[in-house]
Amino acid sequence: MTKHISGTEVVVNRKAKNGFYVYTSDALPGLYVASRDDQRAYDDVLESIRQLYHLDFGMDVEVVHIVSHEEFIARMPAGERAREIMHDRTADLMADDGVLTFAVTRMGAAAHI
């Protein structure tokens, strides 16, 4: 289920390449999370965004996934999912992209979920 939260949304890009799932953001320079385990990388993006906001802006924020990893994967076009499965099985150098959004609010601020 999609969550509705007040605050800033950070658009995060996802690529699968060379057996790694890589998450970056044009809106948040310095965000780079990579893992061979996509679920782990997806989950680690939260803490990375929190830390970057603290370091870059001096703000303690709460970061939440707007959609679950399962929902994000389910929303990917079938062709992208098929390429990902092919990549996982063959370890070829194929790449695919996905974009997702995270919500960022100041700690203690009311969030409407």
At 16-28, the pLDDT tens digits run 888 899 999 998 9
Considering the four listed CATH numbers 1.10.3470, 2.40.50, 3.30.457, 3.30.160, the one that applies to the domain covering 8-106 is 3.30.160
Q: Is the dihedral of CA 31, 26, 7, 59 positive or negative?
A: positive
Residues in the chain with pLDDT values less than 70 = 1-6, 78-100, 109-113
Strands 96-106 and 61-65: antiparallel
50/91 Cα distance (integer angstroms): 32
Tokens 């979920």 correspond to 113
pLDDT recorded at residue 83: 58
pLDDT recorded at residue 76: 75
pLDDT recorded at residue 89: 59
3: phi then psi, degrees, rounded to nearest 5: -100, 145
Q: Is the dihedral of CA 21, 41, 109, 4 positive or negative?
A: positive
pLDDT recorded at residue 1: 44
pLDDT recorded at residue 4: 45
